[in-house]
Structure formats: C-alpha cells, structure tokens
C-alpha cells in the first residue's frame, strides 16, 4: 500500500454499506500498518479512539497536528486496535451502529469524521468463493464472517 492507496480509501469512508478490503498478495498486517502510516480518514478515526498509539506512531505528543503527514513509527502492537477501530468491533448490533455511539464520538471529537459503516479486512483466500458461503436454516445464504453477516446488514 502507498500514500495513493490510502487516499483512495478515503473515497469509501462515507459509503452507507459495509465494505470489504481484499488484498491479493498483500498480508493484512502490512495493510493495517500502512493504514496507520499514511494520512486518511480511517487513520484519523483510529487515532481519536487510540490516542496513545497515535502519539507513538506520529512521534509527537500532538498527533492531531501531524494528520496530513506520514507517521513513520507504526508498530505491530497497534494492528489489532486499527482492525477493531475500522471494523467498528462491538459497535454493530442487528446490522446497525449501536444507538448513541456516533453522537457521543462526534461530541468528543467534533473535528473527526465518523465512518458510516465498518471495514472488514480479509485476505484474498478468505474473501470470496462459494466455499466461504454457508446456508442458514431458512435456506438464505450467509457469509462465514459472523461479525458482519450479510443476512443481518441493512441494505438501504
């Protein structure tokens, strides 16, 4: 991933449906480290939620002043927090963002955009194909990704 890919990721930030990032020949760890490294709305959202990590990655006590710059110190221990932040882990209930969370976030960080939907980071091998689809008891197709089951997400 490069700075250009990071800028491209901004274009999907306000999509109303969940998104999948599929990386062929690019490990998820590297993808998440690069998301921390390069400026994007996703990194800003992550930084607001994980300010200690943001200070370390930015090499600055005031990470917000370095939002438009490359952060040269991303660490592997930051990966799970980035994946949880962009995946909005524990914030999705019945296909919707938990009541009040977005409002509280915007109240705490008015300068930071809140994403409309989570991003799931999947490897190329996990992302597609009929082998990754299960049938529910009602005969509806379901994804193996139980965190964001297609049958539960609202497609409005």
* 67: enclosing H helix or E strand: none
pLDDT at residue 77, as a whole number: 92
pLDDT at residue 146, as a whole number: 46
Q: Which two tokens stand for residue 102?
A: 């977005």
**Is 50 exceeded by the pLDDT of residue 149?**
no
In a domain, 152, yes or no: no
Q: What is the domain count for the chain?
A: 1
In a domain, 149, yes or no: no
Cα–Cα distance for residue pair 89/96, rounded to 1 Å:
12
Please tell me what DSSP assigns to residue 92. Answer: E
Those residues whose C-beta lies under 8 Å from the C-beta of residue 155, and which sit 6 or more positions away, are: 17
**Higher model confidence: residue 59 or residue 147?**
59
State which residues form the domain around 49: 3-143
Q: Which two tokens stand for residue 15?
A: 């999509």
In a domain, 156, yes or no: no
In a domain, 18, yes or no: yes
Confidence of residue 19 (pLDDT cuts 50, 70, 90): low
In a domain, 154, yes or no: no
pLDDT in tens, 96-126: 788 888 899 999 999 998 988 888 776 655 5
In a domain, 153, yes or no: no
Cα–Cα distance for residue pair 71/60, rounded to 1 Å:
9
Percentage of the chain beyond pLDDT 90 is 31
pLDDT at residue 154, as a whole number: 35
């Amino acid at each position: 991933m490069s700075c250009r890919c990071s800028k491209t990721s901004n274009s999907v930030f306000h999509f109303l449906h969940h998104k999948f990032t599929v990386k062929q020949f690019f490990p998820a760890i590297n993808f998440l480290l690069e998301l921390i490294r390069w400026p994007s709305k996703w990194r800003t959202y992550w930084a607001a939620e994980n300010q200690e990590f943001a200070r370390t990655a930015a090499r600055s006590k005031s990470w917000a002043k370095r939002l438009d710059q490359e952060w040269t110190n991303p660490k592997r221990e930051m990966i799970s927090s980035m994946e949880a932040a962009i995946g909005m882990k524990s914030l999705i209930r019945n296909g919707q963002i938990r009541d009040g969370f977005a409002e509280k976030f915007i109240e705490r960080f008015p300068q930071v955009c809140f994403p409309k939907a989570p991003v799931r980071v999947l490897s190329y091998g996990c992302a597609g194909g009929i082998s990754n689809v299960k049938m529910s008891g009602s005969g509806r197709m379901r994804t193996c990704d139980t965190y964001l089951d297609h049958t539960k997400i609202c497609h409005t």
